[in-house]
Structure 1
């Protein structure tokens, strides 16, 4: 008890005891305060739950909520436990988005089949493998330990259209052969005849389908070479897409032919009885005929479109752009400046993280007052649900935040409850305007998960960091201020803030060794008194039941805050006498660094900034150019500048993609060569890739998406699919050519060649249009979705949608033209 301590006898004078209470105040006090927590402007006590590596976040959160519900009844009156940030809500919203998208995709895919086939049993054959393939994917996910999240489910979402493609080609070919067999017979086929026709039709396309599907699967394998954050993000997607494609491939060559034999029955609605196909054929026949007659124009136009797309994507060289601007052709220069680059499209987490840092001289009390003020201001915004502010650090080594750093988590209401016309950028701009009233206070908004990833991977709390490294802290700080001014002038910069390491107030006590020697004191004797008087020293421990509390000795505040009184503190000498601290030490107030950070053995400061309304890659390139021109020539010797933040991730991912994309093309070419045993034929089919790229680039440009890892993964998915359709088209053309050669024999001529190509291409029209319609329809729910997670999936789906449309034109027009040119050369050589 306090009374026990107060009545401790320290000594006695002339028989009179001197108690502790007579020379000191004994009271219960808190430990040295390093932080504070605030909810909606009201101070609270809080904690953070950290999940173990490898655990399932959703399951852990559910168990935590269950445990809180168990202990809540035992809490004292007025005490409640509430979460101010719950990642489980984000997980549930993103999974819900994917569930809705998958459901809508399956419905649209089925509708596309109905429109083109008008044959219920055939629709059943094409649709049944879809849920089975997805089921196989989920089974393999469980076996390989791949959890259900936005990226793993996105792999299934972007694969749905392709999953049914093999079944479409197989079923359509069986139906077509059955139609022809019934026409030749003049009546219905018997079950045995249907089985025989199905077997022949399946053999015809089974091998090319299998190889085409293997191309899609193997072309996606290089995605596993992605490392770092991008690897963790896209490996689950690559796994699930591969799992689903494996299931689809096996079903296409095993189960689908069996379904065809059992379910394909007349009457058949041939292409001439389908109003949509009649319209398409009426348009396609004359266009194909014209293209085969004007091959140079077709190939030249295709080449020009490809060049235009490449210029649109990667831009003209800087001198060419400057030349266009000097000719008053700024719109043209703007068009061909190239599509921007970024690491990843930002996921809308439904929350914001606000981390301002005040001047190092700001006291904890003042920081706490500012934090409460800002939380109340933010909470007044109609779109804000709750605000949780934290300053400083908790009693843990894993949270080394200084007192002047505020970390505010802002939970937003659902966007359906926002003011009309309000968007996230507008909301951030409004909050920024409200929070610019504090000197040295630079508002900068990110999102909780985004911020944590940046801090863990780069140590920078923003998208871009300019690191200045050297040996002199004062010179580094001054250079940081110069770079801050420069970066603030660059369009798109927001929340520009240098790391302020200097300006922390210190009470400096420098021992005078000569003076100490006169009194027989050692430096440690003096420093022990300073430690106990100013910092406090634990001298013993009191035991209260099962609890233990330290007993600390410390000077009163009025003694600690006055330099003269500190100088009067007595230091015991070995002779038993006392000497004032001021006689053996110099005491003064000064300023110094609040923290000293180093990197690779060198001192480091940085300037951080976020990017708004422009691409990250272009923004950093402009910063680099300005710094190289205006700052680097004047750098002191030994000082260097490096770039960090999310830009580091982008550079690493770009280097990996420069290897992955060519590897994908090489794998595709190798597989095609294995199929055709002819480099010319393989090159003919692989031309589908650049022309698929054309449509992807056009749609990406129109929708305003920058190049990112997500976009490039979308292109990789597109390349394999485009090749698959090209392989099947060549199979149809070869089939009709061989059939025509067999019919005409030695009389086979140039006109027969052209007619065979027209007939083969005409046969490929329905399955090709069905394939494109199915893939596009399967991805439309992603494109029109506004739910959480769609902002990551849309850039992934965009290249596939645009590329499949341009691939449709290439396969139906350009491929027959190139096929005709190659076969004519072969025909002429033989003659």
Structure 2
């Protein structure tokens, strides 16, 4: 929207006037340049990467370390803690989190926003190199894939319908066929496997037989290693041919291992491995399992996309490769997709495409109805799609993906994009109508049609530049957002600004060229039937408002006051949930659950969920997949529920109702339910470690106190009436709830046998846990060879006490002579936050309350009921933290931005009073925004704040436009000496307001109607866009009412100072130019 400035031409930017004249006179060159730019924009659109939402995850590098068999506290002390403390000193590091499991260490190094991911990975490698001296021998940390928290773009399961493939064979197909085929696809960082059985050659030694033959476990290990190898002997020339010499010795089967010779026995005969051990193929230790639809355990795969790739293209390439791989699979083996991000992306993009198309059509109809001149309407309409295409050029080179937010920025700008063209065309019509009717000044009548059109555009063209500044400045607070909220809303701010910039640029380049070409024929201007009807309808409204001005002011003030309690009733949330078309159900059991119990539980859960008619497919995972991006313990379940399209749901079924029914059906003792979305969950889990909408971190020096404090918080939130009604579940991690069997070495006793602690511990590692001593090479496949005691010698306490230890002189003694054995409890996993021990309380909050409001209640409950020990502290984490950070930043930036807009208006208008009046449109736009939010049941959120910020610039523009029209009319009356009383002033106000009702309504309705398709949309991303559009829709409506009714009243107060109440003429007030008002 633009404004006419009442100053002289000398005050206007000459370069804009010259540009308008040049483009109008050189229309062919202008059209060629615009066409070339449009083609560039189309190419940028075609090459723009597509995704559902912006990547909200921070710049993060994962350090993964595998140290098999070691307890979590040992992993924490010797690996995780040294790595966390060393990474804290790396440049640009924001925070470092660590997590230690049995045999596994995860360290998450989070960098400041804007850090290049590969620069960050290089820095981590540097600090890993310096930290390696503090790590145990043989431990080699590795970096996780160069992917982000939303890198899990595709998941599939293997299903055998023939019954010929067992879980071990399915896992081998996944690991050595499908996985490598997919990892070769461009854009794939990693393919993670989960479920099934990893094959393993297991040498289960009988210690009694071994002792009777006079051998030790170390000798068995060494013999297996030496019996699994190929060697080379250079070359041999035979009959003119060069023959490579090879010594073939790889183990190919169980029989090969059975014939491994340990040495000679007491009788001098060779002793083979099968004489002292049971050798067979078996499953490796499992820390994760998968199920499909509750029909039985299966094998799954997860495709992790590389950082910065086009998600839709990567998924399409993965699907093409899977089609190729299917032909090589054994008969009956099927690949079943269980999560496909591309469907979400396509639904979201289709929703925005439909909205954009509908908006363009509606705005076009509005223009055509008001202008009643097809070719003139085309001038404005043509600029819309061209400006949209041009906006994709900077998007493409900036690396922005086309997603809900970036396309949403264009969608909310559509109505405003034609404002400049509207005012230009309206002014052209006004000048041409006067020129055609002969009412223009003599010097004007002597000019050509083209000259009149050019001057009509030059008269208002410079103000377009100022309007662009107002809109851009009003969005400065959005550009200043940081963290997840910045990554979410900055794309919208960029694309809205780009769209407005190119729309304004086209209004002074393409519009002049098209205007000269298309605006021909009879122009009715203000004399059209529609315009006269609008003036007749609006005139008594203005007259009544000005005559009853104190009543109008009172009603306006009452509307402002009445809005305050409505505002206070609105809840608060970070952002509305994005309907991804899938649900992620994540219950958590207490530590200590066995893999068999976990298998039974997940199959039961999947079967129950599959019974819902809205559910298409269920893929359950317990524990972790083989990737550094999945730090899930064995007691954590993740069930991906793929839903049917909404039109197949039961009548009356909603998202919240479905979650409620599922929550009631999934009632497992000791396993609180958490319901979320796949993308949101992955983002939060990797960014903060929290896997629910709210997390409370308890930090301190002792895990036992951390656990007790967390349990107290859990109970308080579930039992206190202030929070219980809003808490779906609360679960404090049991940081000391793991079960352990400790071998405590008696150093004095061990010394009597010539043993060190390490000698005894080596036996514990090898005999009980087993040691992968070698690896078979079977074509492309690789399988470990594990040596350990047979199950009968390690499945009860008495058998373990008889475990043999070889002394310094070669004798073998029971381990019970040098170590005590006892059952204890300890940490099943350990969390580390910037070097401090931590425990999490995960809270799933019902949708009836905003997360910010819930946190306020929860903090009060915790303060009243939970005693935090000295030296311990709480850190509240989750989405509400993003809201608080954004709110705190906006509380500073929004007033500064309003001040900057005020200053710009003052510099433009030159009057403090006039600027203050124009700024009144801001609070009145809030009236409509807040009431509409309340009526729709929307909570305050960052999305709503963005909508309010967006409408602020539009409201100021509406106020500015009305003020200009009123001021111009008042100046004309004053300069002709026609204002002597309030009656004369009222006449001037009526003329100024009513004669420009068409451009005012045209711009207002273009803004208002352009937002209607967003509010009526249903689909992926629609809820997010509605939160942005709703305050804009309500704000434009209330601001338009305010400037059309209240502004004339305020203007009468301002300009009426010192005037008498009676008119100086008997029959009416004369208008400028000799016309008289009745």
The TM-score normalised by the length of structure 2 is 0.71
Q: Match for 2:803 among 569, 590, 604? A: 569
The yes-or-no answer on 1:629 pairing with 2:859 is no
| 1:762 corresponds to | 994
Q: Contact 2:629/2:686 (CA < 8 Å) preserved in 1?
A: no
Counterpart Cα distance in 1 of 2:416 and 2:777? 71
| 2:941 corresponds to | 708
Matching of residues 494-643 of structure 1 within 5 Å: 494-545=728-779, 548-612=782-846, 613-631=848-866, 634-643=867-876
Matching of residues 74-223 of structure 1 within 5 Å: 74-184=328-438, 193-223=448-478
Counterpart Cα distance in 2 of 1:757 and 1:33? 82
Q: Classify 1:479/1:772 alpha carbon distance in 2 versus 1 (closer, same or farther; 3 Å).
A: same
CA offsets 1:529-584 (integer angstroms, 9 cap, x no match): 11111110233444445655432211112221111011111111112211111111
Counterpart Cα distance in 1 of 2:934 and 2:902? 28
| 1:402 corresponds to | 633
| 1:244 corresponds to | 499
Matching of residues 453-472 of structure 1 within 5 Å: 453-472=683-702
* Cα displacement (A) at 1:163: 0.6
Q: Match for 2:583 among 326, 329, 352? A: 352
The yes-or-no answer on 1:290 pairing with 2:544 is yes
* Cα displacement (A) at 1:500: 2.1
Q: Contact 2:745/2:757 (CA < 8 Å) preserved in 1?
A: yes
| 2:679 corresponds to | 449
SS of residue in 1 equivalent to 2:302: coil
* Cα displacement (A) at 1:589: 2.0
| 2:1031 corresponds to | 799
The yes-or-no answer on 1:738 pairing with 2:971 is yes
Q: Match for 1:669 among 902, 908, 912? A: 902
Counterpart Cα distance in 2 of 1:530 and 1:617? 51
The TM-score normalised by the length of structure 1 is 0.92
CA offsets 1:599-626 (integer angstroms, 9 cap, x no match): 2433222221122211111111000111
Of 279-288 and 105-114, the range deviating more from structure 2: 279-288
Q: Contact 2:470/2:901 (CA < 8 Å) preserved in 1?
A: yes
* Cα displacement (A) at 1:290: 2.3
Q: Match for 1:816 among 1028, 1031, 1048? A: 1048
CA offsets 1:656-692 (integer angstroms, 9 cap, x no match): 2212322321221121122112322222212111111
Counterpart Cα distance in 2 of 1:210 and 1:763? 25
* Cα displacement (A) at 1:763: 1.9
Counterpart Cα distance in 2 of 1:179 and 1:209? 23
* Cα displacement (A) at 1:718: 0.5
Counterpart Cα distance in 2 of 1:685 and 1:226? 27
| 2:918 corresponds to | 685
Counterpart Cα distance in 2 of 1:392 and 1:12? 45
Counterpart Cα distance in 2 of 1:204 and 1:824? 29
Q: Contact 2:589/2:671 (CA < 8 Å) preserved in 1?
A: yes
The yes-or-no answer on 1:63 pairing with 2:314 is no
* Cα displacement (A) at 1:460: 0.8
Q: Match for 1:256 among 507, 511, 524? A: 511
CA offsets 1:454-512 (integer angstroms, 9 cap, x no match): 21222111111122222332232222222212212412211222212233221111111
Q: Contact 2:435/2:445 (CA < 8 Å) preserved in 1?
A: no
The yes-or-no answer on 1:487 pairing with 2:717 is yes
SS of residue in 2 equivalent to 1:695: helix
The yes-or-no answer on 1:648 pairing with 2:888 is no
SS of residue in 2 equivalent to 1:680: helix
Q: Classify 1:191/1:630 alpha carbon distance in 2 versus 1 (closer, same or farther; 3 Å).
A: farther
Q: Contact 1:384/1:411 (CA < 8 Å) preserved in 2?
A: yes
Q: Match for 1:368 among 588, 599, 610? A: 599
Matching of residues 309-324 of structure 1 within 5 Å: 309-313=563-567, 315=568
Counterpart Cα distance in 2 of 1:206 and 1:569? 93
| 1:780 corresponds to | 1012
Of 476-485 and 370-379, the range deviating more from structure 2: 476-485
SS of residue in 2 equivalent to 1:357: coil
* Cα displacement (A) at 1:192: 5.1
Q: Match for 1:48 among 302, 327, 332? A: 302
Q: How many residues align?
A: 798
Q: Contact 1:35/1:392 (CA < 8 Å) preserved in 2?
A: yes
| 2:927 corresponds to | 694
Q: Contact 2:297/2:599 (CA < 8 Å) preserved in 1?
A: no
Counterpart Cα distance in 2 of 1:548 and 1:759? 89
Q: Classify 1:146/1:468 alpha carbon distance in 2 versus 1 (closer, same or farther; 3 Å).
A: closer
SS of residue in 2 equivalent to 1:353: strand
Q: Match for 2:666 among 435, 438, 442? A: 435
Q: Classify 1:143/1:505 alpha carbon distance in 2 versus 1 (closer, same or farther; 3 Å).
A: closer
* Cα displacement (A) at 1:215: 0.8
Gap runs ≥5 in structure 2: 1-252, 1061-1078
Counterpart Cα distance in 2 of 1:547 and 1:589? 39
| 1:380 corresponds to | 611
Of 779-788 and 290-299, the range deviating more from structure 2: 290-299
SS of residue in 2 equivalent to 1:14: coil
The yes-or-no answer on 1:3 pairing with 2:255 is yes
Counterpart Cα distance in 1 of 2:532 and 2:439? 25
* Cα displacement (A) at 1:71: 2.6
Counterpart Cα distance in 1 of 2:777 and 2:538? 92
| 2:88 corresponds to | none
Counterpart Cα distance in 2 of 1:66 and 1:595? 40
* Cα displacement (A) at 1:279: 5.0
Counterpart Cα distance in 2 of 1:451 and 1:234? 19
| 2:83 corresponds to | none
Of 72-81 and 27-36, the range deviating more from structure 2: 72-81
SS of residue in 2 equivalent to 1:441: coil
Counterpart Cα distance in 1 of 2:752 and 2:971? 113
* Cα displacement (A) at 1:246: 0.8
Gap runs ≥5 in structure 1: 316-337
Of 220-229 and 780-789, the range deviating more from structure 2: 220-229
| 1:34 corresponds to | 287
Q: Contact 2:695/2:878 (CA < 8 Å) preserved in 1?
A: yes
Q: Classify 1:617/1:548 alpha carbon distance in 2 versus 1 (closer, same or farther; 3 Å).
A: closer
Q: Classify 1:19/1:191 alpha carbon distance in 2 versus 1 (closer, same or farther; 3 Å).
A: farther
* Cα displacement (A) at 1:706: 1.0
Counterpart Cα distance in 2 of 1:422 and 1:429? 11
* Cα displacement (A) at 1:50: 1.4
Counterpart Cα distance in 2 of 1:455 and 1:670? 45
* Cα displacement (A) at 1:803: 0.7
Q: Classify 1:735/1:28 alpha carbon distance in 2 versus 1 (closer, same or farther; 3 Å).
A: same
Q: Classify 1:234/1:748 alpha carbon distance in 2 versus 1 (closer, same or farther; 3 Å).
A: same
Counterpart Cα distance in 2 of 1:473 and 1:641? 14
SS of residue in 2 equivalent to 1:27: strand
Counterpart Cα distance in 2 of 1:710 and 1:813? 30
Of 535-544 and 226-235, the range deviating more from structure 2: 535-544
SS of residue in 2 equivalent to 1:733: helix
SS of residue in 2 equivalent to 1:495: strand
Q: Match for 1:234 among 473, 481, 489? A: 489
SS of residue in 1 equivalent to 2:672: coil
Q: Classify 1:740/1:545 alpha carbon distance in 2 versus 1 (closer, same or farther; 3 Å).
A: closer
| 2:707 corresponds to | 477
